[in-house]
Structure 1
Amino acid sequence: MFFPPQGVKIQGPLQPYTSGRVYYISCVVWGSNPPANIKWYRGIKGLSDLVPLSSYNQTVTHSGNVSLSWIKYLPLPSHQRDLLICRGSNQELMGSSTIC
């Protein structure tokens, strides 16, 4: 049986990010069968001009229930007020995604 992602969470420093400093940020997506595909974006949530970000790595736990992805993020002054968005989706189910 196929299941959509049940939840998603971004984990990283809980502070305002400083321009020019590198941050490693992770995204955890759980509950998807098969394991979720994770994509990262930067921008304002809800707008169509989100900028895709390259993920640093993506792994799946041994149980297959949790997918993890990391990015290396270097904020710039032009990124002020932008959000980091992590999206987990199941490729087997059209329209199934969970966004954080």
Structure 2
Amino acid sequence: MPKTRRHIDEANACDIPVAFLLDNGARLIVEHHDFLARGGRARILVGDYMDVTEPMALRRLADLDGDLTFRVFEAAAQGFHLKTYIFLYLTVLGRHIANL
């Protein structure tokens, strides 16, 4: 997780689609709420894969202020098992995308 923390601290935007979200993962995002305070944009898509997503994790995200969008994907009969972190950096030279 050290790389993920560094990217959150330095990126201008992040997209995080994951199969599920646990409370400890949500706490990591909350710990870096200054990312949103400095104008960062976060989009988070979590699934209901095997009912693993924890309601407390969703409540933590709902309490954050800033440019944050999060959605829950209801997988039903289809598979949904993503784990992707995409960070966007805007610089004088253009864009840099880091995908862990």
Alignment TM-score, normalising by the size of structure 1: 0.34
TM-score, scaled to structure 2? 0.34
